[in-house]
Chains A and B, each alone.
Chain A
Amino acid sequence: MIQKKICMLGAFSVGKTSLIQRYVSSIFSDKYLTTVGVKIDKKALKFNGKDINLMIWDIAGEDDFTSIRTAYLRGMAGYIIVIDGTRPNTCDTALSIHQMVRETIGELPAIFAINKADLKSDWQLDARQLNKLKLSGCPILETSAKHDLGVEGMFLHLTERMEVQHG
């Protein structure tokens, strides 16, 4: 049994919690997120014949008034940064978070998830932003928590990247 701590990061109201709820059945209510700033869930999965427990830390979204408590990031094996495709500024926030993590924690497997794929027609991300994301070297996945699109794949992809890194 291997345990991995991963963090869900991203701007306020991009759908981090909804994505996790799609993936796990939680024992804690969402109110933890707003009180303590973090909520932890567990997902047990099998990868390459290995039992893996993903400890998913859902970390309260960052906006102009609150910043991520970096202490929560300590010890994570990888992270997912969620972007709301309909709000371009969430992409900027994502990039700044990515930068912050690299500076404070170090290089770790990461994934950018552009959420609300069900509203893809309303997406307002421009080519420049997408380019910046691509330049980060991290995989960019499209997800929809509402329609359960690409959610499990996203977590598996991160797991794979973490496994590759640690061997």
Chain B
Amino acid sequence: MTAGTPDLDQLRRLLFGKDYDDLLALKEQFENSHQYSTSVASIISEALTLRSRQDDSLSVALGPMVEQTLNRSIQNEPKRIADVLYPVMGPAIRKSIQQALNEALENINQLLEQSFSLRAWRWRFDAWRTGQSYARIALLRTLVYQVEQVFLIHRDTGLLLHHIVAEKAISKDPEIVSGMLTAIQDFIKDSFAVDGNDTLDTLKLGELTVLVEYGPHAITALVVRGNVPGELHGLLVETSETIHQQYARKLKQFNGDAASFAELDPLLRNCLKSQQQAHKQRSPWLAYALLAGISGALAWGTYQYYQHQTQLAVQKAASEQAQQAAIQTLQTQLEQQKADTAAAQVSLQNLLSQQQQQAEEQARLAVANAQTITHLSHAIEVAQYPFELAQADVDFNHPLLAQLVKNILALQQAASRNNQTLQVMIIGNTDDSGTENINQRLAHERAHNMHDALIRSGVPAALLAAYDANQPGLPATAKKNERGVSYMVRLY
């Protein structure tokens, strides 16, 4: 606006009055960038908030700027962003890793369980028999329940808005199924003339249940296998309500394009609940039995082994003992024998010495005996019994006779000791007086009488022989001129 002439300015003032100053002030505010910034700053937050409520244009407009700013910030100083993100990223990464590990462990565990248990083999048989996959059979047998499919169906058209199917579950053409679900609903209503507000909320076939929740514009249906828990109904109703809150307009204006309902995926996926059969912690009897069997066998084996060893040891010990005993016995025997030998030697020595002694003794005795013999022989041979003249009688009580007997007997003993046989010849003698005949008879009588007297006195007859002095064969020395008898001792 140009300044114009003072008149014009005057005219303006007259026309607008006090508002003219305000207008000028406003103009000034827009033209002065500082003032303008100040005035915009005071309302910019409110303005942004208001606009973001109206539509998404703000995020569209700011999106590239924010991205660019972030990009630059990361490029300039990555550490700062890292520091900012650290408290968020750390736990997130940890959680993610932990979850992955847990899942891996769980999988391995299940794999092991399914590979080795009797139950698993039964399932395999069932799978083979029914022609279904093993995974499906296993799932069916272990689940208490599982939400297999979630349908979001447009109520008026029966067209499918969104569909979610659980892993491992089988889903036939969901568009057709959703149509049939609504058709069946209509069919039931028509067929049984139920109250207009009543709806078919549960379909059940065998272990399969379809829970249906009718909203004003959309039908939410859960296909559940197994025993449906009560809370699923609640979850279904909540989900349906949430959908109607957020998408009422879109549902009303639905013309067959279901693309925008893909945003409901997380909400519907939340309904894919399932509960596995609580793994009953049954005691694994079979395994225990096997273990016990093995342990038993081991223990028995060990026991047997030790028993055997002990027996062997005992046997060995016994044999060793026996051997030792034998050795000891042998040693004892040896010692005994040694002792015996020693004793024998001693005794032999003794014997030898004895023998020697004996020999000596014998020799001594022999000498003594010989002396005795000589002495006694001499004593006998010199003995004189004084016969009376011309008499041949022998007085038995004569001391000479007794002496003679005693000597003869002693000599006999000595001779026997000397292994000699004694013979005492009694030779009758006479003196020169008398006749030959008489003398001869007398000598004979005298000899015989003495012989008899000696026998009677105890001398054995075998020792004695009586002769006449004149008897031929006798030595000449036998004949003596005396009245008596002489003796000749002979030892053989």
Contacts and interface: CB of A to CB of B under 8 A. Distances in A.
B256 A69 contact: no
A27 B175 CA distance: 12
Contact of A37 (B160, B179, B187): B187
A1 B259 contact: yes
B19 interface: no
A28 B183 contact: no
Nearest to A75: B157
Nearest to B159: A3
Interface in A99-137: none
Interface residues of A, number: 25
B156 interface: yes
Contacts of A76: 157
Interface stretch (A10-18, A38-46, A84-92, A146-154): A38-46
B258 interface: yes
Contact of B175 (A3, A28, A36, A69): A3
Interface string B171-206: 011011001100110110110000000000000000
A28 B176 contact: yes
B156 A75 contact: yes
A75 B255 contact: no
B327 to A, nearest CB: 102
Contacts of A4: 159, 256
A38 B188 CA distance: 12
B156 A53 contact: no
A22 interface: no
13 contacts: A3-B159, A3-B256, A5-B157, A36-B187, A38-B183, A40-B158, A40-B180, A57-B183, A71-B186, A72-B183, A72-B186, A74-B158, A75-B158
Interface of A: 1-5, 27-28, 32, 36-38, 40-42, 53, 55, 57, 69, 71-72, 74-77, 166
Interface of B: 154-160, 172-173, 175-176, 179-180, 183-184, 186-187, 189-190, 255-259
Given A2-B257, A55-B175, 8 more contacts: A1-B257, A3-B256, A3-B258, A36-B187, A37-B187, A55-B176, A69-B187, A74-B158
